[in-house]
Structure 1
Amino acid sequence: MDIQHRHIEVFRAVMTAGSVTGAAALLYTSQPTLSRDLARLEQLLGYALFERERGRLKATARACTLFDEVERSFQGLARVIERAKALGRAEDTALSVLSLPALSHALLPGALAALLGEHPAARVSITPAEPPLLEAWMGEQRFDLGLAEQATPLPGVRVEPVLEADEVAVLPAGHALVSRRRLALKDFAGLDFISLAEDDPYRREIDARFDAVGVQRRLRLQTHSAVAVCELVRAGLGVAIVNPLTAAACAGSGLAVRPLTVSIPYRVSALIPLHRPAQPLVDDLLNALRRGRP
């Protein structure tokens, strides 16, 4: 017969209670049964754990050393049990989100405020990434949720729409066009225009719209970041058309936002891995994102 968990449990109870009688009460068993289990443990170990003095037990040095190890093990077990219970509560789960930097800046904060208001113990990690790295990591099932613009189908990933809104114009606060409630493409003729990078799909669509109506702009500055576009506009270096989320986040303090008379749709999609265990908070975050659409 080998040493079993019951023997260790009996030993721990005796050390904790300081007596066989007290240990028997802790374990809801009889004193004779506990004494037999304790004696059996000593027999299996081949040495005494306690000295018997006038019917009382006194722990040996070996017993004290063993008790330290037993306590560390039981503390680890308690953490395992608590973690197992926590996994059954959505509030105690950890959610990993992979997102375009622009969405981390302009869309996620409000949605996360709503999510954490409902689940205050939840933990969320946000990793910003640009394509094609974003798509590659989602295809590798590394994250619970991805957020992208105009997402294309990916193997092993389900794509769901989160929001659709129109692109907007951003202007320096003192610009002459600020007086207009809505801007037409012809209003940009001859103006310094700050663009997204040439490989950006929204840049290509915006350029195509201006080409279709024959409007010429002065294209002197371009950048990959919609936030950077807004800051360049705020500095008075030109006007621009950007997504409504970034425009709303950057508006004020020298930056004005105006709708356009034409619709240039801006879309945000959720990327959900199909081969990664589903996190219960994903749906709650998606609902918060959809409620926060502009």
Structure 2
Amino acid sequence: MNIRRIATLTAATLAATSLVACSSESESTDTAAESNEPIRVGTTDDNLPEWEVFADLAEEKGIEMEIVPFSDYNTPNDALVQDQIDVNKFQHLAFLAEYNVGAGADLVPISSTEIYPLALFWDGHDSLDGIEGQRVAVPNDPTNQGRAINLLAANGLVTLKEEGLLSPTPADVDQAASKVEVTPVDAAQTTIAYNSGEPAVVNNSFVLRAGLNPDDAILEDDPNSEGAEPYINIWATTPEKADDERINELAELWKDPAVAEAVQESSGGTAVAVDRPREDLEQILQRLEEENS
């Protein structure tokens, strides 16, 4: 297959190369998007089987690509801004909006991929019966914490002091009016809370790693609702490369049935395919950026 991987990039690597990137901004250089060089694709999950299926399809289409793996969620967008890669696929719109606002960047979505529902698990329980008065562990990263709290609020378990918040925090919860107590923990620790007997909202990335059965979820958010739009996963690039035919053709290959089947297998059947026009994605991103400003 016509696929190459290069060494994992980290924040330290990008910091060391940022001066070079900045000093060459005014120079006229060819990028992969403008030449026959491989398209450099950044991701944090290149170990998943769907990438091998995807690579085979790209080879059949005669598109050369080079996978650039990252060890954390912060650096793939930095790498895109610094022209270390041409496109990335690892994030949803809410994450991109937070990055753009925080970094003063203008990265854009070019294609949608999937939504992964966020779910509540409680060992030994198949309903909410008896949950009143319990502590519920939720991921403490800004995006998933807000999404988890909104999941609890939508199901009457917590009451928010103000409705309509995209990313509520525990401080936004009216504890006296709520049925459960929200306990923020590191996302990886939610499964530990689950194993200790506490109800826990577990990020999809950790569900399968912890050996949980997605079918055992008591609650999950509705991926088809308007409230789920911020969590549409995307391919993202810079405005300068957004209309490049090779990059867009590559991104569209992710929608091939063979890739979709592999995604379902690796996600335990939880992934929900999303096919939204770029204009919709841009509008959602703009709205989220305004809310984050």
TM (norm. structure 2) is: 0.48
Bigger strand share:
1
Higher relative contact order (CA 8 A, sep 6+): 2
- Computing the radius of gyration from Cα coordinates, the structure with the larger value is 1
